[in-house]
Amino acid sequence: MKRVATVAALLLLTGPLAACAGVNSQTTSASTPTAASSPQQTAASTAGSSPRASATASAASTYTMADVGKHNNEQSCWTVVDGKVYDVTQWIGQHPGGRQRILNLCGKDGSADFTGQHGNDDTARGRLASFEIGTLG
């Protein structure tokens, strides 16, 4: 019974965030047994591959700016904010400020732009966190 309550609580916590991001939540075995992972956390390591390639990137993955720079278009859009790497491809069409705001960040360090627009807004930071695929090394 306790496990059912824990799973239900996890779904309640992740469901609204996933709905805001316009994606379905999925559970994977990456990270911890109770961690939920979204399609944004699945990433390709080369520009020629689909942004949703078979390998699932975990938050422990480390990327270089050269890696991020390969994902500089609408089909595969990665950005860096405050030393963390995000695959924001699925957010391009969902961003309330318009597609171009996200497209301008593809393949680049978007820290200044993100912070300039959103500051420390918890909602924006929470949504961004749902797209995290690793750290900049």
pLDDT of residue 133: 97
62-63 and 132-136: which strand pairing?
parallel
What residues in the chain have per-residue pLDDT under 50? 1-59
pLDDT of residue 29: 33
At 27 the three-state DSSP class reads: strand
Whole-structure pTM value: 0.60
Residues 44-82 have pLDDT tens digits of 333 333 333 333 444 479 999 999 999 999 999 999 999
Helices (H) and strands (E) in the chain, counts: 5, 8
User: What is the C-alpha separation between 12 and 57, in angstroms, rounded?
Assistant: 24
- Nearest to residue 81, comparing CAs of 125, 20, 36, 44? 125
The gap between the terminal CA atoms of the chain, to the nearest Å, is 42
